[in-house]
């Protein structure tokens, strides 16, 4: 009996020591373990990825992936509970908030590109989109060339903003570009007639259309200007923390569960208005789910995939 007690105590001590050593090897895990709190970054209006429902709870496709990562972190650290602190972010402050430790991990609709990867780490990709336009069905806009001399809105600090400004300069289109703080403000600018079109990721545009009071009034048009992949943001130089996120994402994407998760957010009615985005899974996204990776958007477009 004494031997059994001794062995159980030894095993318990070994487990605690192993968990502590595991956490100490990762600055982020050590911080989470010491505080018992994890800080999650989220967008407020990025339907259906990360946004508020009618009860002001954070929901969405990316949010569900983020919470799976939280559960894995809790298990790795051997914690019975872990307090979640939600931190709303914007496209302009998300990287600084990751860098200064205010946010531990952000999962929403952030494009993984090489420039950002110099400042933060990206998880395995969680989604693949194309950049297009949202405009009224009677606007006369069917492609980017129709924007000459007109006002266009996009979200500040995004790939779409960079592409739009480069297009304006290179093609001398004479566009007036409005840079809004988030997706909600971008759509409001379009809806109130201050811009004739709104450039963003096609899945985000589908979400804003479904969220509007008159979804039948809007259409997604234009030749895609780029392919973009989304990933979760974390601090650089913390490979153990990144590995937890990567493993969770890879396991999910290669399991039958990913089809259910996709259908839930893109092919069935979503809160708060119960509208269906009607956004079928693309061939590119199917390929990503089959072979999870964290290839940057720049390399994806260079490869012509």
Return the closest-CA partner of residue 191 out of 175, 205, 174.
205
The mean predicted confidence, pLDDT, of the chain is 91
Taking only the tens place, the pLDDT of each residue in 249-280 is 999 999 999 999 999 999 999 998 888 999 99
Kindly indicate the confidence band of residue 213, based on its pLDDT and cuts at 50, 70 and 90.
Answer: confident
DSSP designation for 78: T
Instruction: Tell me which residue of 120, 115, 174, 122 sits closest to 145, measured CA to CA.
Output: 174
- What single string gives the DSSP state of each residue in 45-88? EETTTEEE-TTS-EESHHHHHHHHHHHHHHHHTT-S--EEEEEE
Predicted pLDDT of residue 91: 86
**Where residue 2 falls among pLDDT bands split at 50, 70, 90?**
low
CA dihedral 260, 233, 220, 186 (to 10 degrees): 130
Residues 135-167 pLDDT 10s: 999 999 999 999 999 999 999 988 899 999 999
- Rounded distance between C-alpha atoms, residue 210 and residue 197, angstroms: 16
Average pLDDT of 177-204? Answer: 95
Quick check: pTM over 0.85? no
């Amino acid at each position: 009996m004494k031997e059994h007690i001794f062995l159980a105590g030894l095993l318990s001590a070994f487990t605690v020591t192993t968990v502590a050593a595991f956490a100490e090897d990762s600055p982020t895990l050590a911080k989470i373990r010491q505080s018992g709190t994890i800080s999650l970054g989220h967008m407020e209006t990025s339907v259906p990825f990360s946004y508020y429902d009618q009860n002001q709870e954070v929901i969405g496709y990316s949010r569900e992936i983020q919470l799976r990562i939280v559960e894995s972190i809790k298990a790795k650290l051997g914690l019975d509970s872990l307090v979640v602190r939600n931190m709303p972010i914007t496209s302009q402050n998300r990287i600084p908030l990751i860098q200064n430790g205010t946010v531990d991990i952000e999962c929403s609709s952030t494009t993984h590109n090489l420039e950002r990867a110099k400042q933060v780490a990206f998880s395995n990709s969680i989604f693949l989109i194309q950049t297009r336009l949202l405009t009224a069905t009677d606007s006369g806009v069917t492609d980017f060339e129709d924007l000459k001399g007109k006002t266009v809105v996009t979200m500040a600090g995004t790939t779409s903003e960079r592409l739009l400004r480069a297009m304006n300069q290179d093609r001398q289109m004479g566009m007036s570009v409005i840079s809004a703080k988030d997706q909600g403000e971008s759509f409001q600018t379009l809806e109130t007639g201050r811009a004739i079109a709104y450039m963003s990721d096609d899945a985000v545009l589908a979400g804003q259309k479904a969220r509007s009071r008159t979804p039948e009034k809007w259409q997604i048009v234009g030749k895609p200007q780029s392919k973009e992949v989304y990933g979760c943001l974390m601090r650089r130089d913390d490979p153990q923390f990144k590995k937890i996120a990567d493993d969770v994402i890879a396991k999910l994407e290669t399991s039958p569960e990913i089809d259910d998760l996709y259908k839930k957010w893109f092919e069935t009615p979503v809160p708060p208005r119960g509208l269906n985005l009607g956004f079928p899974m693309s061939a590119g996204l199917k390929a990503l789910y089959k072979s999870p990776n964290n290839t940057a958007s720049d390399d994806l477009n260079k490869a012509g995939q």
